[in-house]
Structure 1
């Protein structure tokens, strides 16, 4: 396992509602990061095909004009779009974490896909609980999405946006000995100056807190809003433009002691934040406090995780043992629930 290497966090505007162009732009950044010596490159939340800022700006009826285009430009697992990303990773010998709107059937999910340096998808996770109005667009993940994977670059995990405000979800990741974490953010422009909790001070603070609390390196890639995107989602409405200003890119990388590493890109410009990391730093950070290890108080508090994949439809052969004769109630070895009660 490599312990010292360069990482890259991309700060770039998505090609909003254009999956084809977005994949090509992502590939250009993958190539650029690899050319500059990075072994891991990360993109923000739903970078493909872009974060749906419009859900925060108007009525449901007004938003419907975007629904079809957003659905059509959301990526499908195993598609040609995914294959292009896979080939870019293998050709450039680089790992990739990218935030996507994942389409499965008739539903969309806020997802993060992790490709290894051979182009294989080694983690495909979904945001457990979309935040606020995001729930009008996206479905939910489950416990199988709280996953840290072994790679040639160490143990790497991913969470999206306000999942970094969920203490139990974070703790589940810490407990898996996470060494490098991808904290994917959309853009931090929405409601700037009117909703402090949505701003960069709080959200970059959550990213930094994750690093020092989990004793791990954290990449916080963040997209930004361009004038072109603003024009698309605001449509010349001055009130909407105030709620969705240009900029909002606050990409940052943090070390296990909470210090910021790497040189930031101005919040209204595109670019890549690079940092050299050394996994040996983690031992020094966790010597003081390992929240899921020696610093835990397991006689007082513990975390229970249900890691089973939750599916709305099961084949009969895969389903639990149901007693059809007794209102489909589950039963144990002694018979049906009804019989056991009697």
Structure 2
């Protein structure tokens, strides 16, 4: 019996948000969703914290100077279940396209660097958080937990996502590879900062990280990348020194095949638009025939990864001295029981 593999077109966004304006950026996102679907794409991926834009102010000056942006950034971050979130779900459903949105997630009094995977039916597939915000990002955002290193079954294949320098975390990457990831979203914020001297923050190094992920994981990597607009610079760069630190453009959206080949067109770094590629999951078997780092090309007797998938619940309720396990932990424990039972049956 012949086996057919999903084939579809994917789109990666290269654009700037309407900085610190949630409603206007949602409008822009919906326009891009419609454009991608009109071009035949079945998946569209957005850059890191596209809603309401990456907080560049944290890199440009002291925290005291950056306080002028804190409340506005918080107020314009996305809350799941809000009218703005419902509009995005509806856009995915109306256009029959999977959407992977990069956002600043507002939860209570905290913010998290989120990626929201919305199915073509408008239903939520996953809501993840960046496991460890990078450097000064930790002055704005909280951390994710082990549940955020997950790969999800979808009609298009097994989909996972990471943000920015999570692609420089070897163990986090391996955790994703080991879950048979086929389509990976690598969300980047823009390569506009400190250019010329800080090569680790530039396009060459970070696009290389996306490319290596494709080769190591034997998967497709869709790497959206935002741009910095002149309007953003006018808001953020209040003196000439800052204008030399944050430059316009910085967009380098690309899509890679499992063999590391660049399979999308590229846009000039200051041009907004979408880049597309045709995805054929049948190609993954060719890549993994050479090297499957979590399969035949591994040595578990020498090196192994411990992945703790316990949710990071902040509060554990107690009633009359009896520990009450949070619902999220119950689900994880149930999964563990099923896995153990399956292992015993196999034995």
TM bucket (normalised to shorter chain) is: over 0.9
Aligned to 1:43: 46
Q: 1:317 Cα shift?
A: 5.6
1:150 counterpart = 2:136: no
Aligned to 1:64: 67
In structure 2, the gaps of 5 or more residues are 325-347
Quote how far apart the aligned CAs of 1:315 are: 2.0
Give TM-score scaled by structure 1 length: 0.92
Supply the distance in 1 between the matched residues of 2:257 and 2:99 (Cα, whole angstroms).
Answer: 19
Distance 1:317 1:22 in 2: 44
Gaps of 5+ in 1: 323-342
Task: Please give the per-residue CA displacement for 1:140-190, whole angstroms capped at 9, x wherever unaligned.
Answer: 001000010000000000000000000000000000000000000001101
- Over aligned residue pairs, what C-alpha RMSD do you find? 1.4
Structure 2 counterpart of 1:191: 194
Separation in structure 2 between the aligned mates of residue 310 and residue 278 of structure 1, nearest angstrom:
36
Q: Secondary structure at the match of 2:85?
A: helix
Map of 1:336 onto structure 2: none
Question: Quick one: structure 1 residues 283 and 228, their matched pair in 2 at CA, closer, same or farther if it must change by over 3 Å?
Answer: same
Q: Is the contact made by 2:13 and 2:274 (CA closer than 8 Å) also made in structure 1?
A: yes
Residues 2 and 152 in structure 1, CA contact (< 8 A), matched pair in contact too: no
Mapped to 1, the partners of 2:71 and 2:38 lie a distance apart of 37
* CA distance in 2: counterparts of 1:95 and 1:67, whole angstroms: 31
- How many residues align? The count is 321
- Flag as ranges the 4+ runs of structure 1 deviating above 3 A: 317-322
State the alpha-carbon separation in 2 of the partners of residues 16 and 321 from structure 1: 45
CA distance in 2 between partners of 1:70 and 1:30 (Å): 24
Question: Which residue pairs with 2:170 in the alignment?
Answer: 167
User: Aligned-pair distance for 1:127?
Assistant: 0.3
Q: Which residue of 1 aligns with 2:260?
A: 258
TM-score by length of 2: 0.91
Aligned to 1:113: 116
Partners of 1:224 and 1:248 within 8 A in 2: yes
State the distance in 1 between where 2:120 and 2:5 align: 13
The alpha-carbon distance between structure 1 residues 294 and 75, as it changes in their structure 2 partners (threshold 3 A), is same
**Counterpart mapping for 1:119-268 below 5 A:** 119-235=122-238, 237-268=239-270
